């Protein structure tokens, strides 16, 4: 059942097409974490479809109107203590946000058998506009490397033209066994819980070529898995 949106949600931006494309994979009534949820475009959309949503962001004013549809937490994810130790969710959603020091903790919030839905800006964005700082831009193939050992359902890395932006995104399922992260990973690969690549880390496998992500309907898409 889809519940009607509250009047204050009328001006909220539409959900990401990446979420809309893969939301059918979430079981009914899933516990979903929306990390860095902002004004809650995904919080409201998921809650209206019966999911139990937790929204985390540092903007208290943006979170306040969401309290009637979700559990919200006002937290500085980059400088404060991690607020979700020991908590697991059926799905973790992240859009337009990247803070690598929290990657291990974020990945650990995905329950065994759960889903990671991640979409944010890629390296080529620096030539287009903001964000342009390297710490906020995914390197080519980075999501594939970080999710090694997980089931990759789809992955895209390329240029959108309306509006123009470089985007990298993935939908990945954590192995059902808590010990399966390493057991199912290819030999020598890191898992999604591994530490961020250091100066001595071998380069990741070559990613698929950049692709016009909003190509005409019916155009082939590069997928993995």
List, in order of start, the domains of the chain with CATH numbers: 27-212 (3.40.50.150)
Total Cβ atoms within 10 A of residue 200: 5
Q: What pLDDT is attached to residue 98?
A: 86
For residue 201, the SS3 value is coil
Q: What pLDDT is attached to residue 127?
A: 62
Read off the pTM.
0.74
Helix (H) or strand (E) holding 93: strand 89-95
Length of the chain: 225
% of the chain residues with pLDDT over 90 = 53
**Average pLDDT taken over every residue of the chain:** 78
Residues ≥6 apart with Cβ < 8 Å to 74: 57, 58, 59, 60, 63
User: What value does the mean pLDDT take over residues 179-192?
Assistant: 38
Cα–Cα distance, 40 to 173 (Å, whole number): 24
User: What value does the mean pLDDT take over residues 98-109?
Assistant: 92
């Amino acid at each position: 059942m889809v519940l009607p949106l509250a009047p204050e949600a009328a001006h909220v931006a539409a959900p990401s097409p990446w979420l809309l494309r893969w939301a059918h994979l979430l079981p009914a009534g899933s516990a979903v974490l929306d990390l860095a949820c902002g004004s809650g475009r995904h919080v409201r959309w998921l809650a209206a479809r019966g999911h139990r949503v937790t929204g985390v962001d540092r903007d208290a004013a943006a979170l306040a109107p969401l309290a009637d549809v979700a559990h919200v937490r006002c937290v500085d994810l980059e400088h404060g203590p991690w607020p979700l130790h020991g908590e697991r969710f059926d799905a973790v959603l992240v859009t337009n946000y990247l803070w690598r020091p929290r990657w291990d903790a974020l990945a650990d919030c995905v329950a065994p058998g759960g889903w990671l839905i991640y979409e944010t800006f890629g390296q080529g964005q620096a030539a287009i506009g903001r964000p342009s700082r390297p710490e906020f831009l995914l390197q080519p193939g980075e999501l594939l490397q970080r999710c090694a050992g997980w089931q990759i359902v789809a992955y895209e890395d390329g240029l959108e033209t309306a509006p123009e932006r470089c985007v990298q995104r993935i939908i990945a399922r954590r192995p059902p066994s808590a010990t399966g992260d390493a057991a199912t990973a290819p030999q020598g690969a890191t898992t999604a819980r591994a530490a961020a690549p250091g100066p001595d880390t071998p380069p990741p496998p070559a990613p698929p070529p950049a692709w016009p992500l909003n190509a005409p309907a019916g155009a082939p898409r590069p997928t993995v898995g």
